[in-house]
């Protein structure tokens, strides 16, 4: 009986540790500045619209906090938006409500940036519409002032 209790305790401890490690390994924690945002809309593989915007340093900052909280500062901190997020594999979900999250796949780049990519596809009246969004964030150095 003591052996079963010991094994049960060990299994519960391992499960709890795995949840703790999952939360601790969050590559997004900290401040990131928005470098660029590109949106392309396609209709049957033909580009219909293309929007590219490049941001001045610290113009828009994403502050990924613990407990899955995200604070987005715009216009050098003049406006603030709060959202929640979570990371799962190579995907980050960002949104206000748990059921209303935008799903981005992410790739860390050698130049200390991360690329978030979202592709949304729908078919209507035999026409395929695709919205492609790409966001590039650059990590802010710890304690670097937001300009």
Neighbour tally for 140: CB within 10 Å: 19
Taking the C-alpha atoms of residue 22 and residue 25, their distance in angstroms, rounded to an integer, is 5
Residue 21: pLDDT band (50, 70, 90) is very low
Residue 78: pLDDT band (50, 70, 90) is confident
Encode pLDDT of 6-18 as tens digits.
666 556 655 555 4
Residue 23: pLDDT band (50, 70, 90) is very low
User: The domain 28-139 is classified under which CATH number: 2.40.128.20, 3.40.50.300, 1.20.1070.10, 2.60.20.30?
Assistant: 2.40.128.20
Give me Rg for the CA atoms of the chain. Answer: 20
User: Where along the chain do its domains lie?
Assistant: 28-139
Encode pLDDT of 26-45 as tens digits.
889 999 999 999 999 999 99
Helical H runs in 2-106?
2-24
């Amino acid at each position: 009986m003591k052996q079963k209790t010991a094994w049960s305790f060990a299994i519960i401890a391992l499960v709890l540790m795995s949840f703790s490690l999952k939360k601790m390994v969050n590559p997004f924690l900290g401040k990131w500045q928005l470098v660029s945002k590109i949106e392309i809309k396609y209709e049957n593989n033909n580009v219909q619209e293309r929007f590219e915007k490049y941001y001045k340093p610290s113009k828009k900052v994403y502050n990924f906090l613990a407990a899955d909280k995200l604070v987005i500062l715009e216009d050098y901190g003049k406006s603030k938006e709060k959202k929640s997020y979570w990371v799962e594999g190579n995907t980050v979900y960002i949104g206000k409500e748990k059921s209303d999250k935008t799903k981005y796949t992410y790739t860390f780049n050698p130049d200390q940036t991360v690329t978030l990519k979202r592709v949304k596809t729908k078919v209507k009246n035999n026409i395929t519409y695709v919205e492609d969004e790409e966001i590039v964030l650059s990590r802010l150095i710890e304690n670097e002032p937001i300009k």
